[in-house]
């Protein structure tokens, strides 16, 4: 049987996957032209410029692309006709859920203020801050990361309501899943909103002035999805007024320019888009590739296909 040619961006990933049957692995970080033109499956580098994906057009035999990211909108414009695109579903669940919870706890319990006060040797009087426990949380986006977030929030005694693109029956975690069309009726009681949904034309600036105005006073908005989900200008105004607070791992624009007002807006906590980028990433990536590469060899398909080039 002629082996299936698969490119990986790093030699250490190749070393981890050596020995897969009927597969030949080659290293290609996509900075330069492909090392050979018979590559059928490409795994692009993680956290690199999306512009490297333009080189996919140089592969006449390309059939599929397996991303290491949960988000995939950045790859769509570079996808050659007929080539399937799969996202890294499951790889980032643990790390991203962990950061979402960490951001929420830090914001609720005034951790940033305490860190700044420590530098000045100041003993803050911050007793009575809102706990995460007993809060009403609204999770917007209920894929695998959304479920991981809910699972952890429930351990922390948080009341969870979840929203997806369409209403559907619940699962072992929630009684029901609300549709996005029900969002306006859910916002007035949402003390903590956690965003983990894809960025599309429909979801861009979903969190706008009207959305923020519907939240209760002192609500917290946590974004571990994509920066463009939020209208940044509207968020700056809402936080500066003291109406709401925000904890953001993603921003729009990104990276955030040094002079952007979001950096110094009251009630805003920012981390530099590191939700999935922890030591938990590589073991889960390798586990996924051990499953997906043989599956592709046998079927010509990837399990988590999200789009096909047109």
Please indicate whether residue 273 is annotated as part of the active site.
yes
Q: What is the DSSP string of 46-79?
A: TTS-GGGGGGGGG-TT--EEE-SSS--GGGGGGP
> What DSSP designation does 264 have?
G
**Distance, first Cα to last Cα, the chain:** 30
Active-site option among 89, 273, 284, 292:
273
Q: How many CB atoms lie within 10 A of CB 252?
A: 20
Please indicate whether residue 254 is annotated as part of the active site.
yes
Q: Which helix (H) or strand (E) holds 206?
A: none
* 170 φ, ψ (degrees, to nearest 5): -75, -170
Cβ 79 vs Cβ 309: under 8 Å: yes
What is the Rg, in whole angstroms, of the alpha carbon atoms belonging to the chain?
A: 21
Give residue 251's Cα distance to chain centre.
12
Q: Are strands 305-308 and 268-270 parallel, antiparallel or unpaired?
A: unpaired
Q: Are strands 136-140 and 192-195 parallel, antiparallel or unpaired?
A: parallel
Active-site option among 89, 147, 226, 284:
226
Burial class (CB in 10 A: 0-12, 13-18, 19+), 278: middle
* 149 φ, ψ (degrees, to nearest 5): -65, -45
Active-site option among 122, 182, 254, 301:
254
Report the catalytic residues: 226, 254, 273
């Amino acid at each position: 049987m002629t082996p299936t040619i698969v490119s990986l961006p790093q030699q250490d990933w190749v070393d981890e996957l050596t020995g897969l049957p009927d597969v030949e692995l080659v290293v290609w970080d996509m900075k330069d032209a492909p090392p050979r033109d018979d590559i059928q499956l490409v795994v692009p580098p993680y956290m690199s410029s999306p512009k490297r994906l333009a080189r996919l057009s140089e592969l006449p035999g390309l059939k599929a692309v397996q991303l290491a990211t949960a988000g995939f909108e950045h790859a769509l414009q570079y996808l050659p006709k007929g080539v399937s695109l799969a996202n890294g579903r499951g790889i980032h669940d643990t790390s991203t859920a962990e950061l979402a919870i960490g951001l929420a706890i830090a914001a609720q319990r005034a951790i940033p203020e305490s860190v700044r006060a420590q530098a000045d040797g100041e003993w803050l009087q911050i007793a009575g801050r809102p706990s995460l426990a007993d809060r009403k949380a609204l999770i917007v986006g209920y894929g695998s990361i959304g479920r991981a977030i809910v699972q952890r929030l429930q351990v922390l005694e948080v009341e969870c309501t979840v929203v997806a693109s369409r209403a559907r029956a619940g699962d072992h975690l929630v009684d029901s899943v609300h549709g996005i069309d029900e969002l306006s009726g859910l916002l007035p009681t949402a003390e903590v909103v956690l965003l983990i949904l894809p960025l599309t034309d429909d979801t861009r600036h979903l969190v706008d002035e009207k959305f923020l105005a519907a939240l209760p006073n002192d609500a917290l908005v946590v974004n571990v999805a994509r920066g463009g989900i939020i209208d940044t200008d509207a968020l700056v105004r809402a936080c500066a007024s003291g109406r709401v607070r925000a904890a953001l791992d993603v921003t729009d624009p990104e990276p955030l320019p040094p002079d952007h007002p979001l950096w110094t807006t009251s009630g805003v906590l920012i981390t530099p888009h590191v939700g999935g980028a922890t030591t938990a990433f590589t073991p889960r990536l390798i586990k996924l590739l051990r499953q997906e590469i043989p599956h592709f060899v046998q079927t010509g398909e990837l399990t988590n296909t999200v789009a096909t080039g047109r």
